[in-house]
Structure 1
Amino acid sequence: MTKRILIADDDDDSLIGLSNLLNGMGYEVALAANGSQAVDVAQQFAPEVVILDLGMPQMNGLEAARALRTLPNGRSLLIVALTGWGQPQHHEMTQDAGFDVHLVKPVSADQLGFILSMTQP
């Protein structure tokens, strides 16, 4: 079974680049342009992993992570912050919002592959 990954980022280049990388690694990918859309897509797509940018319009990544955790499968999701925000307070903010992992852009394919290997297919 192919692992389903939802990516939410308001930067089209980041979204497409990461989508292409993950598709190339054999994952099934769904995309969202903001946090609100990510929550909607997650309800239909049922991902195992959600990768969220933090600084998005309408609903930021922190708010989206909290909302995703309330979904029926929300506790089992691996929620990854992939952001330019790398200061210690940002790590605390993502931990408090329910993220499992905090990665700072740019992320390597090896680093991402390792994080994704920690979840069940």
Structure 2
Amino acid sequence: MSKRILIADDDDDALAGLANLLTGMDHEVALAANGAQAVEVAAQFEPDVVILDLGMPLVDGLAAARALRRLPNGHAMMLVALTGWGQPQHREMTQKAGFDVHLVKPISADQLYFILSMMQP
């Protein structure tokens, strides 16, 4: 089933690659280059899923996740951390910030498909 997915990453290549992958899976995709932009876009786009890099400039993924959860539909969104940070303390940080899932880059199409399939329609 098609989902509305917002991707936020300051790496243009990572952003484009993930967007192409998700578009190829028939999802509707919106993009943001940083955490502040992700919150702005989410308020308009109302995504089902938000995939956030953690190490972004201006507003990082942790602060963006907390801000997203405060939006009117924030608790209905699945928040996915997609990052190079994979230590136990990083997973604890993402959990405290309100993320549902913590994934370490690089991610395969199969992993992504599985995570998205876990979300209720």
Fold match (TM-score > 0.5): yes
Q: How far does residue 119 in structure 1 lie from its aligned partner after superposition?
A: 1.3
Displacement of 1:118 in angstroms is: 1.2
- Unpaired segments ≥5 residues, structure 1: none
**Percent sequence identity over aligned pairs:** 78
**Which residue matches 2:20?**
20
Partner of 1:99 in structure 2?
Answer: 99
CA distance in 2, matches of 1:17, 1:26: 15
Moved >2 Å (runs of 4+): none
Matched AA of 2:24: G
Q: Which residue of 1 aligns with 2:63?
A: 63
Specify the code of the residue in structure 2 equivalent to 1:95.
Q
Q: What residue number does 1:113 align with?
A: 113
SS in 1 for 2:57: coil
- Write out aligned runs for 1:84-95 (5 A): 84-95=84-95
Q: Which residue of the partner structure matches residue 49 of structure 1?
A: 49
Q: For the residues of structure 2 that align with 1:3 and 1:54, how far apart are their CA atoms? A: 22
RMSD, matched Cα: 0.8
1:61-84 superposed Cα distances (whole Å, 9 cap, x missing partner): 000000000000001110000000
Equivalenced residue count is 121
How big is the shift at 1:96? 0.4
TM-score, L = length of structure 2: 0.98
When normalised by structure 1's length, the TM-score is: 0.98
